[in-house]
């Protein structure tokens, strides 16, 4: 049943790649073939379902904000993380900075660039990038995850906007550690290369409340996972989060590499790769795959049939 629906969802959504473009402001990402599409579902009873390009490596980009937030909650604590970063959808583009200028304002949430850069500034003094990489491999059950050097250098060469955001945050006292080290950490995390399978693995871990499905080891606390999933639901698709919540209703996080990480609580992790993006930076075909799965498998968080299937 799941495999049939997944195969149909990918086939039906493939043409939508024509409606989007790969991200161009990070030149290395614009070289990716926009016609890729893959979707992977891992279920809590051990099922593994794949359709399309689920083994192709791509850049995790903003989906790493979920990992940084989770680790920051574990290492720094809720009060520190949310002292100056909000929990509200911004309604603005992921790289917006206009509102930050106003007196007393701070980043709306940790899923947009400003919020994630602030969170990384709390995290970076406490953990090395190498340890973050090792932990990401465990969270995703994918030992092959690595730093894509080309993407890292490409983004570092086009970092002006994020650098402006970071220095504005420093000026406002939101960032108190070294700005350049924070930016380097942030871009490294965005440059990890994953597959749709890795994201499905991370999704299943979050669906299971932080316990690694492969080993039974608890990797994240239930409190951390609850906060992360809630923020994914309200803010994970940038300024498309509200529409996505109505139409799909699955806590998700997208990235400009074309990935989407989705969590069907207690039941499944879903990973998507479709690098053609819409104007908000979300995978066009990926969103369609998720809409199809949500409707056919009753995965919407408020679907009356969701617990009975
Ligand atoms: N939306 C994204 O995936 C953005 C991440 C990207 N590294 C940036 O900072 O702009």
The residue ranges of the chain whose pLDDT is under 50 are 308-309
Nearest to 165 by CA among 235, 93, 237, 236: 93
* pLDDT at position 309: 46
Contacts of residue 307, Cβ cutoff 8 Å, sequence gap at least 6: none
247 in Cβ contact with 303 (< 8 Å):
no
Say if residue 53 is in the same domain as residue 198. Answer: yes
ipTM of this model? 0.96
What's the whole-model pTM score? 0.97
**In b/e form, how buried is each residue of 63-83, taking b as 16+ CB within 10 angstroms?**
bbbbbbbbbbbbebeeeebbe
Say if residue 116 is in the same domain as residue 182. Answer: yes
Say if residue 199 is in the same domain as residue 283. Answer: yes
**In b/e form, how buried is each residue of 284-298, taking b as 16+ CB within 10 angstroms?**
bbbbbbbbbbbbbbb
Q: Which residues line ligand 1 (CB under 6 A)?
A: 61-62, 94-95, 113, 155, 162, 190, 255-256, 281
Give the C-alpha distances (Å, rounded to integers) separating 297 from 148, 272, 308.
35, 16, 10
Tokens of residue 279, six digits: 């104007």
Tokens of residue 135, six digits: 């932990």
Which residue range(s) make up the domain with 221? 2-60+193-297
Task: Please say which residue of 163, 190, 217 terminates a domain.
Answer: 190
Question: Which strand (E) or helix (H) includes residue 51?
Answer: strand 48-52
Q: Would 133 be classed as within a structural domain? A: yes
Please tell me the distance between residue 249's alpha carbon and the centre of ligand 1 in angstroms. 23
Distance CA 66, CA 84 (A): 18
Q: Would 308 be classed as within a structural domain? A: no
Distance CA 115, CA 268 (A): 27
Number of domain units in the chain? 2
Say if residue 151 is in the same domain as residue 212. Answer: no
Q: Whose CA is nearest to atom 8 of ligand 1?
A: 113
* pLDDT at position 95: 85
Nearest to 96 by CA among 168, 176, 36: 168
Task: Mark whether 62 is an active-site residue.
Answer: yes
């Amino acid at each position: 049943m799941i495999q049939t629906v997944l195969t149909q969802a990918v086939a039906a959504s493939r043409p939508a790649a024509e409606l989007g473009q790969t991200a161009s402001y990070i030149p290395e990402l614009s070289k990716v073939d926009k016609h890729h599409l893959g979707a992977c579902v891992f279920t809590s009873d051990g099922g593994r379902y794949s359709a399309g390009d689920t083994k192709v490596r791509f850049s995790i980009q903003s989906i790493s904000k979920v990992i940084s937030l989770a680790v920051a909650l574990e290492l720094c604590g809720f009060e520190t993380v949310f002292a100056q970063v909000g929990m509200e959808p911004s309604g603005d583009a992921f790289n917006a900075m206009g509102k930050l200028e106003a007196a007393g304002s701070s980043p709306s949430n940790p899923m947009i660039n400003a919020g994630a850069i602030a969170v990384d500034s709390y995290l970076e003094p406490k953990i090395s990038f190498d340890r973050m990489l090792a932990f990401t491999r465990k969270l995703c059950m994918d030992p092959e995850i690595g730093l894509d050097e080309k993407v890292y250098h490409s983004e570092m060469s086009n970092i002006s906007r994020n650098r402006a955001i970071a220095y504005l945050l420093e000026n406002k006292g939101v960032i108190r550690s070294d700005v350049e080290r924070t930016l380097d950490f942030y871009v490294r995390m965005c440059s990890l290369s994953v597959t749709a399978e890795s994201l499905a693995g991370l999704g299943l871990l979050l669906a299971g409340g932080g316990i690694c499905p492969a080993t039974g080891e608890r990797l994240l606390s239930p409190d951390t996972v609850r906060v992360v999933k809630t923020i994914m639901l309200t803010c994970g698709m940038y300024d498309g989060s509200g529409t996505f919540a109505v139409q799909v209703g699955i806590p998700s996080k997208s990235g400009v590499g074309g990935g989407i990480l989705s969590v069907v609580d207690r039941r499944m992790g879903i990973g998507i790769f479709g690098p053609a993006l819409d104007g908000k930076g979300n995978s066009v075909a990926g969103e369609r795959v998720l809409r199809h799965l949500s409707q056919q498998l009753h995965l919407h968080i408020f679907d009356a049939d969701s617990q009975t299937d």
